[in-house]
Amino acid sequence: MGQDDKARYPKVLLVTGGSRGIGAATALLAARQGWAVAVNHTANSLAADEVVRAIRAGGGTAITVQADVADEAQVLKMFEKVDAKLGRLIGLVNNAGVVDVTARLDQMSVARWRRMFDINVIGSMLCAREAVRRMSTRHGGEGGAIVNVSSAASRLGSPGQYVDYAAAKGAIDAFTIGLAKEVAAEGVRVNAVRPGLIETGIHASGGLPNRVNELKHQVPMQRGGTADEVAQAIVWLLSDAASYTTMSLLDVSGGR
């Protein structure tokens, strides 16, 4: 990639889990605000392609990048593709994550826990490591911003549903705080958003497709949120408007 190509894409962003839900909404909004976006997916290439088509139809720049974020070799190849196609990234949204079926702790398997932490925690740490290697002034970068997608579950614990998911998101909160302090003097800001009850497909994957409607009475605002509302917070944290904001855990939860 030549200097002219790099100049074309001064704002390069990678969104993991960008083919649906909060990730897709973030990719679309960021593209409208001038970011060149790499849309990561694990298996659903058709959904990722549709996000990219929508971005390009609006005049934006986007590519798809396939990788299971829990697999180091795949993550390394993904970042190499972003480097080659778009240039050095200055934004990362660690959005890829999974839940599992509703269960008590005494019904859960170790295999379930390993999957939960491999994807939700180690995957985020892997991607953040590669992003820091590109963004940090310590490594010759020009700075950047990382936004981790945590969850209000890290505060609430999700008893009787998925305490393992809540524990994984608690780890993301701690990781956000520690990494923010570690790289603050190197031009890299690290923050997290903690969505509450949001209307996305993740609830169906956990066996609770009507979860938002069933629990919205517990939300002071008396409704679930939208992926777009979370995306607004994420893209703000990525932007220069948040230039003095790091180590923040921003709740987007309707007061819950």
The predicted structure's pLDDT at residue 94 = 98
pLDDT of amino acid 2: 43
d(CA 146, CA 249): 12
Q: Block means of pLDDT (10 residues each) for the chain, length 256 residues?
A: 54 98 98 98 96 98 98 98 97 97 97 98 98 98 98 97 97 98 98 93 62 85 94 98 98 95
pLDDT of residue 213: 79
165 is catalytic: yes
Out of 9, 162, 165, 244, the active site residue is: 165
- The fold of the 3-252 domain, in CATH, is Rossmann fold (3.40.50)
